[in-house]
Chains A and B, each alone.
Chain A
Amino acid sequence: MTAMTVSQLAPFYGARQAVKAVDMTIDAQKITAIIGPSGCGKSTVLRCLNRMHETIIGARATGTVHLGDQDIYAPDTDPTLIRRRVGMVFQQPVAFRTRNVYENVAVGLRLQGMNAKAELDVAVEGALRSAVLWDEVKDVLDKPGTALSGGQQQRLAIARTIAIKPDVILLDEPCSALDPIATANIEELLLELKQQYTIVIVTHSMQQAARISDETAVFMVDTTSGQAIGELVEKSQTLHVFTNPQDPRTESYISGRVG
């Protein structure tokens, strides 16, 4: 089943086009990995999937992205509502330092108008359990979020994102600031979460993509026109991409010859 359909999506920074028009589909309840060398626009494309891209000054995108039946780039669409359905976790673990662990998870729920204590308690505990963090933080719920370790903060960010029950979770290099053990925890968690959520993850690590993803999209930088522009060169099942790449550029990238 298809969760999102990307058609002719072209992100811009000012007048400069960052990525050649992208067409791809994102399967529901699967993990789709986006890999590629630095500057290929993989994060940019990811950020277009919940309209976070345009929060950068001068940034915009053309084309359409359908979430179910809805085009999230339709003119009358409120991007904040899209972002509640397509959540995002960032490279740098973010714990709001002025909020305790509990409130770090509750913030999205409060934003949606949930204020009853009992209701919040259930939702926060559920989200923390889903993020496999509950056992570690249940005794320090009133401590500042920044008191947690980096790996815990990243799972806290994931808990915050899944607390509002989005359809899709976007992760932008969620493990690049973490050590191998914390990384393994996050990967395990993502494999759990894909039972319920559609997951798109940008990663620098081909090994990580190979370990956890079902589908892989490979982006490369094209400099033939004199200006660097990203492009999607290949997208298919992860196994195919890594064992039988169709594009020679993919082959040289995954074999470590470029990038």
Chain B
Amino acid sequence: MNSVPKNYRWRKFVDQLMRGSTVLATGCAVIPLVAIIAYVFTLGAAALSGDFFTQAYVPPGTVEMADTADATEPAFDPEDPFAGIGLDTVSEYDGSQPAAPAANPDDLFAGIGFTETVNVDTSMPSESDLYSAGPQGGVLHGIIGTLIIAGLGLLMALPIGIFTGIYLSEYRMQRFATTVRFCVDVLSGSPSIIAGVVIYVLVVIPTQRFSAIAGSMSLAILMIPIVTRTTEEMLKLVPDSMREAARGLGAPTWYSTFTVVLPAALPGIVTGVMLSFARGAGETAPLILTVLGSNIISTALLEPMASLPLLTYRYTESPYPGENTLAWGAAFVLMMLVLTMNILVRIATRNRAGAGR
């Protein structure tokens, strides 16, 4: 006997409705991601040129030196020292007394004794040139700046983060560790601009200068929680039997931590470190308040410096389409940087999984 329950059709309908809703929601969640990737990749890739990775900022409308070298340089004429600079102004006074000028709305200067002829050399960039020109220059200064600022930030965050992680995992005094862990979690959830404001007040104002090192500090504040928590979690994954075996030999905690536990957890910790670098490299807000940005290739740690996210921000704001294109390019490089980091992380963790217990 094939008996169909009374509400069978209804249940089937609800099932399909629910399934449809989840698929729809998933689609909505994926759309922004796909859009971002597609946009950045297509528009960003278009900005890539030879200059892109090799040059720093070039102001819009800059005439390349090669062009002027091609033009025949006029010989210097002492009679006319301004020849050849593209502006020929000839003003002549004819000595006549001006007649009472009849108001001529078309020629307000008529009758005051000057005939003016101004020839503007049209080889200078015109306004329309500025707004239609393609990208000029590149973001090399941003790439260098990002690597320096984020790298230095990582150098600061690494010892603090790893040692805090070790403390939380290996030396836990319950109550204090819980407090520290809570603070670290709050820190990792706090908006990044806060880190910028703090360093602005504590470092930038007292030293009276925006600097790369101040930016590194603000990034370190954001990296420390990531490094700390990954270190802690990875150390906790190391089986207690390892610690016990080391302790059973009479090893003090620091010895078992550094010779047994930490090496075993190292691949995972490296993962966290790379992720924190990727996070720091992509931060914009704190850098606005700390490194300010720069248009030249600079490696001076006490000076303002360029960085990719800052370039993306400033170039996007720019009225010049050429710079807008560079902004996409900078965003593209930034994404590739983060993507590379993530792929490296995958490789590192896969090797670890393959290495067995």
The interface of chain A, by Cβ under 8 A from chain B, is 50, 52, 55, 57, 80-85, 87-90, 92, 94, 96-99, 107-108, 111, 146, 157, 160-161, 164
Contacts and interface: CB of A to CB of B under 8 A. Distances in A.
A85 B250 CA distance: 8
A108 B250 contact: yes
A146 B260 CA distance: 13
A94 B356 CA distance: 14
Given A96-B260, A98-B263, A146-B357, A111 B245 contact: no
A39 B255 CA distance: 32
B247 A111 contact: no
B355 A97 contact: yes
A200 B10 CA distance: 69
Contacts of A99: 263
Contacts of B259: 107
Contacts of B263: 98-99
Per DSSP, chain B at the interface is helix
Given A83-B249, A90-B241, A111-B250, 9 more contacts: A55-B244, A57-B174, A80-B251, A81-B250, A82-B250, A92-B241, A107-B249, A157-B245, A160-B249
B264 interface: yes
A84 B250 contact: yes
B307 to A, nearest CB: 37
A97 B249 contact: no
B245 A90 contact: yes
Interface of B: 172, 174, 239, 241-242, 244-252, 255, 259-260, 263-264, 266, 355-357
B78 to A, nearest CB: 82
B75 to A, nearest CB: 77
A254 to B, nearest CB: 30
A90 B250 CA distance: 14
Contacts of B250: 80-85, 108, 111, 164
B244 A52 contact: yes
A141 B301 CA distance: 49
A180 B311 CA distance: 68
A11 to B, nearest CB: 16
A111 B248 contact: no
A157 B248 CA distance: 10
B238 to A, nearest CB: 10
Contacts of A98: 260, 263-264, 266
A144 to B, nearest CB: 8
Nearest to A81: B250
Among A87, A96, A161, the one with the most B-chain Cβ atoms within 10 Å of its Cβ is A96
B174 A161 contact: no
B247 A55 contact: yes
B248 A146 contact: no
For the complex of A and B, list the 9 residue pairs with the smallest distance between their C-beta atoms, beginning with the closest.
A84-B250, A88-B248, A98-B263, A94-B245, A83-B250, A108-B249, A80-B250, A92-B241, A94-B241
A90 B174 CA distance: 26
Nearest to A51: B247
Contacts of B255: 111
